[in-house]
Amino acid sequence: MGELTETNFITYEYPMNEKIRSWLRLETLLSQIFELSNITSYSSGIAFFRSVSELIEILDRGEVRSDLIKELEKHRSRLSTWAESPNVDNELITSLLNDLSAKITHLMSAARFGHQLRTDKIISMVRQRLSIPGGCCSFDLPTLQLWLNIQQSERDRTIKSWLDSIAPLKDALQTVLTLIRQSGTFEIKKSNNGFYQDSVEGKELLRIKLAADHLIYPQISGHKTRFALRFLHIDSENGILPEVIRFELSCC
């Protein structure tokens, strides 16, 4: 059905099951950790450690590694089936299969996700104070204050070892989510009076692309096979909602 012509879009995503919900949260935290890893102040250091602490909490709730391996195996099996079809790019399929096989092998041989983060003394010390409002003041954590003022090269080596320990998780998760996102295609849809609903089968992720300059965002709800979108203006009291809203939807 084509795509909308505006260029300033925001893509909103909504998980249709708990597995994808957990993976999207992991993706967000991993992105924050890597972006915040260049610690330049006490405040940026606390922000980094807070994201690390939240990552550890999510990893402690379930077996992320086995779920990611299953997902990669599923896509490898699907690609193997496609390779038997006529008129396919066998060179591309072979390359993708080799890449998936390498990621699965790397994932299976990697250390337990988050183990190094859980056992690190600096991280453990900060985590104990994060649940206390204002509990990470410098007088509460003099050891952290010292660590943040040691040689930059020494601190960088420590941070690099932390990032390296979760790199296999970040790589596998990025691959899996990219494959899921690429499995759907955007189509133009219309909502009347700010509401749209539909049903889907066998989909795990909704993606809604909406022009940012309209100051309208979607409130998304759904589970398994049904979903609903309610479009709202950022100014809930004075904003005007058009009768018809055009957006793009991809069910992945």
Query: What is the number of other CB atoms lying within 10 angstroms of the CB of residue 51?
Result: 20
CA geometry: angle at 89 spanning 85 and 91, to 5°?
A: 120
CA geometry: angle at 130 spanning 129 and 136, to 5°?
A: 65
Rounded to the nearest integer, the mean pLDDT of the chain is 90
For 44-77, what is each residue's pLDDT tens digit?
999 999 999 999 999 988 789 989 999 999 988 8
pLDDT band at 29 (very low <50, low <70, confident <90, very high): very high
Q: When comparing pLDDT for 207 and 40, which is higher?
A: 207
pLDDT band at 84 (very low <50, low <70, confident <90, very high): confident
Q: Which backbone phi and psi does 83 adopt, to 5 degrees?
A: -60, -25
Residue 156: the pLDDT is 93
Least confident of 80-89, 133-142, 214-223: 80-89
Q: When comparing pLDDT for 216 and 138, which is higher?
A: 216
Closest among 113, 98, 97 to 170, alpha carbons compared: 113
Residue 1: the pLDDT is 47
| Max avg pLDDT among 3-7, 83-87, 140-144 | 140-144
In this predicted structure, the answer to whether residue 88 has a pLDDT above a threshold of 80 is no
Structure tokens that stand for 171 in this block: 């790589």
- DSSP H stretches of helix in the chain: 18-36, 42-61, 64-83, 90-109, 115-119, 121-130, 142-147, 152-182
Average pLDDT over residues 219-239: 91
Structure tokens that stand for 220 in this block: 């998304």
In this predicted structure, the answer to whether residue 7 has a pLDDT above a threshold of 70 is no
Q: What CATH architecture does domain 37-183 belong to?
A: Orthogonal Bundle (1.10)
CA geometry: angle at 88 spanning 86 and 92, to 5°?
A: 150
pLDDT > 90 fraction of the chain, expressed in percent and rounded: 65
Alpha-carbon gap, residue 123 to 144, rounded angstroms: 9
**Domain locations in the chain?**
9-14+185-251, 37-183
Alpha-carbon gap, residue 128 to 225, rounded angstroms: 41
CB burial of 228-239 (b: ≥16 within 10 Å; e: otherwise) equals ebebebeeeeee
3-state secondary structure (DSSP) of residue 215: coil
> Is the distance from CB of 227 to CB of 206 less than 8 angstroms?
yes
Average pLDDT over residues 156-174: 94
How buried is residue 121: exposed, middle or buried, by Cβ count under 10 Å (0-12/13-18/19+)? exposed
In this predicted structure, the answer to whether residue 225 has a pLDDT above a threshold of 90 is no
Least confident of 70-79, 106-115, 239-248: 106-115
> Is the distance from CB of 187 to CB of 248 less than 8 angstroms?
yes
Average pLDDT over residues 93-112: 86
pLDDT band at 3 (very low <50, low <70, confident <90, very high): low
For 171-208, what is each residue's pLDDT tens digit?
999 999 999 999 899 999 999 989 999 999 989 999 99
Q: Could you please state the CATH topology (level 3) that the domain comprising 9-14+185-251 is classified under.
A: YacF-like (2.60.440)
Residue 147: the pLDDT is 94
